[in-house]
Structure 1
Amino acid sequence: MKSLVLEKKDDITLRDFPAIDREEEVLGSRDIRIKMHTVGICGSDVHYYTHGRIGPFVVKEPMILGHEASGTVIETGSEVTTLSVGDRVCMEPGVPDPNSKATRLGMYNVDPAVRFWATPPVHGILRPTCVHPEAFTFKLPDNVSFAEAAMVEPLAVGVHAATKAKIKPGDIALVIGAGPIGLVTALSALAGGCARVYVADLAEKKLEIAASLSPAITPINVKSQDITEIVKRDTDGWGVDVVFEATGSPKAAAGVFEPLCPGGCVVMIGGQPDPISYDAGAAMIREARVENIFRYAHVFPRCVAMLSSGAIDVKPLITRTFAFEDSVRAFDIAASAPPADVKLQIELPQ
């Protein structure tokens, strides 16, 4: 059973992975066996490929990549009641310890014992089949495609961020970063009630995609435009209600409060390979609220429902699709960060 394996930093192969073959034979009474259909390439997958680590998570032995996935149920455990063979599904990739304090308090995403696909030492999902708990597997409506369903995982980050921001109808937001997470955050902010969302980035092609998503999105090219100057001009000097930092850049974080209004909220989304700093004094004089998010919790069903209803459309973000046999090339392209690409996906043989 071939899988896409990160052997070590800068080394990916498509090969048989016997250990997974053995593990996949075990189906618990409340588990689902799923035939994979579509898997998205995430920035974290690429970062493990190019750097071999993200913060404390270090690739020490071969690891299968991928965690943004959709597929079809091919077998169910004896106690499964909500899913049947043939159901089309997407999967939440993090499985917490149900008995941990974080999980019992409803914060299962920050459970230290959570097992998250493609986070060392847990294998990812770029392989033909997987076994996953029923509780973290979600049936798709007929009008949600496999490609859209594989976007639920990144969309969940944006929806979780918008939820933490406590957006009110008519708010104005700024998203710093027009990558996949920045763009799904912009869409989530609009779905949450924002009247206008600024999206700032260096890449003109990504900003063009951002602007095409909604007339309520205003792009800002930070190469030639000043974020704070534009925001203050358009808001009579007041500022935006919410700033979403979706780059992980120290430079972006340093100025994150400048375009924020008094009493506004900053949501830190971008992953940082190293510690970053921001201006606590600027936060203080605004009485700014700062939220930090780590993945997401309790939002997958909301995301599926919004895709089905048309409240959020992620199709324009899927800019390229590759066959499974071209997975290594797909990762090399993703690692080169083409300015016109947002989300690259891989389709497995059916």
Structure 2
Amino acid sequence: MKVVVLEGTHKLAVGTAETPKPDGYHVLIQIDKTGICGSETHFWYDIGDSMKGTVLGHEYCGTVLDPGANKDLKVGDRVTSEAMGCGKCDLCRAGHQNVCFDTPLLMGGFGEVAICVPDAAVKVPDNVSSIEAAMVEPIATSLHAVNRANIKIGDKVCIIGGGIIGLGVASFAKMNGASKVVLVEANMEKAKKILAMGDVDAIFDALDENCVEKLKEYTGGPGFDVAFECSGAGPAVATAIKVVKRATKVMLVGGSPADTNGIPLSHALLGEVNLITVYAYSRDEFLRVMEAMGEGRINAEKYATKIVTLDEVPQVFEDLRNRRIDDVKVIIDVAKK
């Protein structure tokens, strides 16, 4: 089968691999659509050498080739896959499956066939498209972030990073009653597309040296009630801490495998700012996002602003690194030649 393999830091290659075979346990999935996640660009950019040989891709939708040990599935069902825990450890029993690492995250969406553990496969309703289903996973992280932030009616919200998770946060923040939702984004061409989507009220240039001052002026007061850092960049974390009111919250959503330097901890300490980390989501949040898509409360398809083939993936990563892509979400049409 055709795959895109991580061969090292800054090295992706289109090649072939042995197609997984039914083993009576794993769910075997013919991949249809796969999203390119920001975490995967970090893997490629920061730690690719340690992940040599990995077929990335964990945001996908496909068709069941073999249901393995999942008795609720049959051949031909459309499914997506969620990150999940073992279900047995103390963390899982306490409802924190998202931070259990006893069950490995099986990727493989950058290939024609992937496998997942039985309980991770989630059937996709008929009223949710395959493109939407490939975006349930990141948008579920958005919902988890908003739930942890406990946004109140009238809150002013700042989001840093205009990827799909940031825009998902914007959508849910509005649903929860936020009065103003603004976005900080470094790519102004991308920002124009985002503003037209209607999820945010205003956009600020992350590269503007006066960005922090302009953001605080926008609030007409001491700052925002909550900020969501959704890019994983050190300067973005610093901005988030500086633009919130004292005694409020900064939600650290953006992921990076490398340590982030330049965080103004003294500023956070003096303002008693709560730094709250966010990782993944619960099964309930995953299902709620899929339900919201099916009911039309979230229009996820508008975020898929670029569709590519497997052959184009290595160049897409280069373009993302060099900011030559102005797209919110890049989706791989795996079956397309």
TM-score by length of 1: 0.85
2:301 is aligned to: 315
1:263 matches 2:247: yes
String of CA shifts for 1:296-315, please: whole Å, max 9, x gaps. 23321011112122222222
Q: Of 153, 159, 168, which residue of structure 2 is paired with 1:184?
A: 168
2:32 is aligned to: 37
2:95 is aligned to: 106
Indicate how the Cα distance of structure 1 residues 285 and 330 shifts in structure 2: closer, same or farther if over 3 A, else same: closer
Which amino acid in 2 is paired with 1:66?
Answer: G
Indicate how the Cα distance of structure 1 residues 188 and 225 shifts in structure 2: closer, same or farther if over 3 A, else same: farther
1:291 matches 2:276: yes
2:54 is aligned to: 63
1:139 is aligned to: 123
2:269 and 2:11 map into 1 onto residues whose CA distance is 46
1:200, distance to aligned residue in structure 2 (A):
0.7
1:326 and 1:204 map into 2 onto residues whose CA distance is 24
1:78, distance to aligned residue in structure 2 (A):
5.7
Which amino acid in 1 is paired with 2:46?
Answer: H
1:66, distance to aligned residue in structure 2 (A):
1.1
Query: Is the 2:34–2:332 Cα contact (8 Å) retained in structure 1?
Result: yes
1:158 is aligned to: 142
2:206 and 2:52 map into 1 onto residues whose CA distance is 40
Indicate how the Cα distance of structure 1 residues 48 and 142 shifts in structure 2: closer, same or farther if over 3 A, else same: same
Q: CA RMSD in A?
A: 2.5
2:46 is aligned to: 51
1:325 and 1:235 map into 2 onto residues whose CA distance is 45
The DSSP-based 3-state class of the residue aligned with 1:46 is: helix
1:348 matches 2:337: no
The DSSP-based 3-state class of the residue aligned with 1:229 is: helix
The DSSP-based 3-state class of the residue aligned with 1:116 is: coil
Query: Is the 2:106–2:115 Cα contact (8 Å) retained in structure 1?
Result: no
1:290, distance to aligned residue in structure 2 (A):
1.9
2:314 and 2:325 map into 1 onto residues whose CA distance is 19
String of CA shifts for 1:100-127, please: whole Å, max 9, x gaps. 2222221122123241234xxxxx3222
| 1:243-254 matched pairs, under 5 angstroms | 243-254=227-238
Query: Is the 2:139–2:168 Cα contact (8 Å) retained in structure 1?
Result: yes
1:324 is aligned to: 310
TM-score by length of 2: 0.88
Query: Is the 1:250–1:276 Cα contact (8 Å) retained in structure 2?
Result: yes
Indicate how the Cα distance of structure 1 residues 236 and 33 shifts in structure 2: closer, same or farther if over 3 A, else same: same
The DSSP-based 3-state class of the residue aligned with 1:257 is: helix
2:111 is aligned to: 127
String of CA shifts for 1:60-96, please: whole Å, max 9, x gaps. 5411111110012233246613x3333222111x342
1:302 and 1:12 map into 2 onto residues whose CA distance is 34
1:91 is aligned to: 81
2:101 and 2:333 map into 1 onto residues whose CA distance is 32
Which amino acid in 2 is paired with 1:203?
Answer: N
The DSSP-based 3-state class of the residue aligned with 1:115 is: coil
The DSSP-based 3-state class of the residue aligned with 1:109 is: helix
The DSSP-based 3-state class of the residue aligned with 2:217 is: helix
Which moved further from structure 2: 309-318 or 280-289? 280-289
1:334 and 1:35 map into 2 onto residues whose CA distance is 27
Indicate how the Cα distance of structure 1 residues 234 and 167 shifts in structure 2: closer, same or farther if over 3 A, else same: same
Question: Is there any run of 5+ residues in structure 1 with no aligned partner, and where?
Answer: 119-123
Indicate how the Cα distance of structure 1 residues 206 and 72 shifts in structure 2: closer, same or farther if over 3 A, else same: same
1:266, distance to aligned residue in structure 2 (A):
0.7
Which amino acid in 2 is paired with 1:267?
Answer: M
1:301 is aligned to: 287
Query: Is the 1:27–1:33 Cα contact (8 Å) retained in structure 2?
Result: no
Query: Is the 2:27–2:69 Cα contact (8 Å) retained in structure 1?
Result: no
Query: Is the 2:33–2:61 Cα contact (8 Å) retained in structure 1?
Result: yes
| 1:175-254 matched pairs, under 5 angstroms | 175-214=159-198, 216-224=200-208, 226-254=210-238
Indicate how the Cα distance of structure 1 residues 292 and 215 shifts in structure 2: closer, same or farther if over 3 A, else same: closer
The DSSP-based 3-state class of the residue aligned with 1:184 is: helix
Which amino acid in 2 is paired with 1:43?
Answer: G
1:198, distance to aligned residue in structure 2 (A):
0.8
Which amino acid in 1 is paired with 2:60?
Answer: A
1:239, distance to aligned residue in structure 2 (A):
1.9
String of CA shifts for 1:2-58, please: whole Å, max 9, x gaps. 22211223332222223xx3x532132xx53321100111222223333334xxxx6
2:21 is aligned to: 24
1:36 and 1:255 map into 2 onto residues whose CA distance is 39
Query: Is the 1:52–1:59 Cα contact (8 Å) retained in structure 2?
Result: yes
Which moved further from structure 2: 327-336 or 125-134? 327-336
Query: Is the 1:209–1:316 Cα contact (8 Å) retained in structure 2?
Result: no
1:313 and 1:338 map into 2 onto residues whose CA distance is 25
Question: Is there any run of 5+ residues in structure 2 with no aligned partner, and where?
Answer: none
Aligned length: 334
Query: Is the 2:4–2:15 Cα contact (8 Å) retained in structure 1?
Result: yes
